[in-house]
Amino acid sequence: MTRPQSPPDPYARPQRPVRQASGDSHRSALVVALIGAAATIVAALIGLFVQLSGDVEQRASGPSLPGASPASDAPGAPETSVAPRSSVAPSTPPVSEGSGGSDGAPGAPTSIAPTPVGLPDGFLGRWQGYAEEVDAASTDHYRVTVELDQGTLRERVGSVHYAMESSDCYGTVSLTAVGGTDQVILGESIQSGNCVTNGRITLTLRPGDTVDFAYESTKRDGTRQSVRAGLERVA
C-alpha cells in the first residue's frame, strides 16, 4: 500500500546544488607542493650541516700521516698527535745493559760469554832436559822433550818424547788445568813405546826460560811412578 505524497511547500526555498570552486583544487595542490619543497630544503640543510661538522672535526684532529692506520673509535682509546719535524727532540743512545741508570742505580747485569782458558804464552815452544825416574826398584835417567802450542782446555796442545835406553816413547799432551800464568797441568797419552799409557804432567815456570817438570802415573803392577826434571827452552 502506497503512502500519499504530501503536496510541495509553496513557501520552501529552492535548494541549490553545492558547487566546488575551481580555485580550491589549485590551492590544495599548491600547499602539497610547498610542503614537499620545504622537506627537500630541510633534508639538504641537514646533509650540509653533517658534512660541515665532519670537516671541522677532521681539521681539529690534524692531518693524518701517509700509511698510518686510522684512529680507533673505541671509547677510551688514547689520542696520538704528531709533532712537527722541527720540534722532534734528537734521539738519545740506548743505555747499555749493566750500566747505571739516570739516578745512578746499577742496571741489569750484562750476560757475557766466558772466554775460553788457553795455554799461557809463557809455555809456548820446545822444552828439553834430563829426567830422573825413581821407583821402589831403581832410579833411571833419560832425556825428556816437550813441545807446546796454543790451545784451550781439553784440547791437544803438544807432544812429549822420552828417549830411554830400552825404548823411545812418543805421546800427545792435552791441557787439563791452568793455574794462573805460571803453572799448567797436562794429560799425557802415550802413542808408541814401552811406557805407561796415561799420566799427568805438571809444568811450573821458573826464571831464565826454565820449567819444572813433574810426572805422576800408576804402573801396570799398581805401583806409583814419579818423574822429575828441569827443562830449558830450546826453541
166 occurs within a structural domain: yes
pLDDT at 205 over 90: yes
Residues 139 and 54 in one domain: no
* 139-148/125-134 β-pairing: antiparallel
Q: What is the CATH number of the domain that holds 146?
A: 2.40.128.20
What pLDDT was estimated at residue 1?
47
145 occurs within a structural domain: yes
Domain range for 143: 121-233
The tally of domains found in the chain comes to 2
What pLDDT was estimated at residue 118?
94
What pLDDT was estimated at residue 6?
56
- How far apart (Å, rounded) are the C-alpha atoms in residues 31 and 172? 119
Of 41 and 88, the structure prediction assigns the larger pLDDT to 41
- How far apart (Å, rounded) are the C-alpha atoms in residues 142 and 164? 5
171 occurs within a structural domain: yes
- pLDDT, tens digit (0-9, with 9 covering 90-100), for 64-83: 444 433 344 444 444 444 44
- Choose the weakest-confidence range: 7-11, 44-48, 152-156, 190-194: 7-11
Instruction: Give this prediction's pTM.
Output: 0.52
**DSSP secondary structure letter of residue 178:** E
76 occurs within a structural domain: no
Going by C-alpha positions, the residue among 123, 101, 100 that lies closest to residue 179 is 123
